[in-house]
Amino acid sequence: MDKLAIVVPCYNEEEVLKLASEALRGVLADLTEKGKIAGDSFILFVNDGSKDRTWELIEEEHTAYPAQVSGVKLAGNVGHQFALTAGLVTAKDMCDVTISIDADLQDDVAVIEEMIDRFHEGNDIVYGVRRERKTDTFFKRTTAQAFYKLMGLMGVKTVYNHADFRLMSRRAVEEFSKYKETNLFLRGMMPLIGYQTANVYYDRKERAAGESKYPLKKMLALAFNGISSFSVKPISLILGLGLLIIFFSILALIYALFSYFTGHVVPGWTSLILSIWFLGGLQLLAIGLVGQYIGKIYIEVKQRPRYNIEKVLYDAADTDVERSDAANEKE
């Protein structure tokens, strides 16, 4: 029987954590009763440097349900993608299969059973995919669709309408842990693993409680990180745009010379200033874009740990981890 670990990254989720624990424990009990997972399957909450009582609540849940609820406390806030990675890498030696899900309960826990069924059919990665985006605002729905289309144009492989609700077999997590990037974009990394995959579809719900931890600023940062971490096409596009402007500049030069020799010289102060501003802005854009790539190289070559684990709660025994190789994850 396969042992399941449900990995839940948490940042300031005190309002919803108890609800999430109850719902996920119910899922574990149901799947265990049906004989689809091992009885020692568990939930692994990852506290991403929360400023509220999230870690205290995780400790309370672990004390009340030591066999079903475990926890990882990160030494500081490192962001959703790093926190999720910390949970996956920590859980991979404790279980046979993992499922990652956010604590807000917007992803439908009822389809976890279907994910397990697809896993038993031989799929190493099972993606949770939203059927539609009717619950989103017009702005969020439009920008999300534009994001996926843009990622496709840039050559980045992603699963449309999939976030980070997914099942991964142990060997899939083992392969994922070999990726050394500091600039993480898990939605683009998973298709690179190459094992057999499947999709399950569900309707996304409203948050059970609390506020979204992914405002527009973070969403835009994630989108840019995904594009710049997996594609150099933006630089190629800037190069192509530069060549196109040079071409039109040559045409403008020919027109200017023609006007000069035919005596139809018209004062062009406005067009001159506009062209200077336009080309200056384009140059700054190109320099800034290239600078972003250089900055990513700078971050990667330092090879600093992606996160530090301060404490692990597992099997009713608290294990303090003091900056060991297991805690300072760089794999």
Distance from first CA to last CA of the chain, Å, rounded? 29
168 close to 128: Cβ distance less than 8 angstroms: no
Per-residue pLDDT tens over the stretch 223-241: 666 666 655 566 667 767 7
User: 5 phi and psi, to 5 degrees?
Assistant: -120, 125
Q: Given this model, what pLDDT does residue 303 score?
A: 73
Tokens of 246: 């040079």
Select the more confidently predicted residue: 27 or 217.
Answer: 27
Give dist(CA 234, CA 224) in Å, integer.
11
Cα angle for residues 65, 35, 101 (degrees, 5° grid): 55
Band (pLDDT 50/70/90 cuts) for residue 34 is very high
Strands 42-47 and 69-74, by their bridges, are parallel
Per-residue pLDDT tens over the stretch 94-104: 999 999 999 98
Q: Given this model, what pLDDT does residue 319 score?
A: 39
Q: Given this model, what pLDDT does residue 315 score?
A: 75
Give dist(CA 146, CA 97) in Å, integer.
33
Percent of all residues in the chain with a pLDDT value above 70, rounded to a whole number: 67
- The amino acid occupying position 50 is S
Residues 6+ apart with CB under 8 A from 108: 128, 202, 203, 204, 205
Select the more confidently predicted residue: 183 or 127.
Answer: 127
| Dihedral sign computed on CA atoms, order 61, 64, 65, 70 | positive
pLDDT at residue 183 is higher than 50: yes
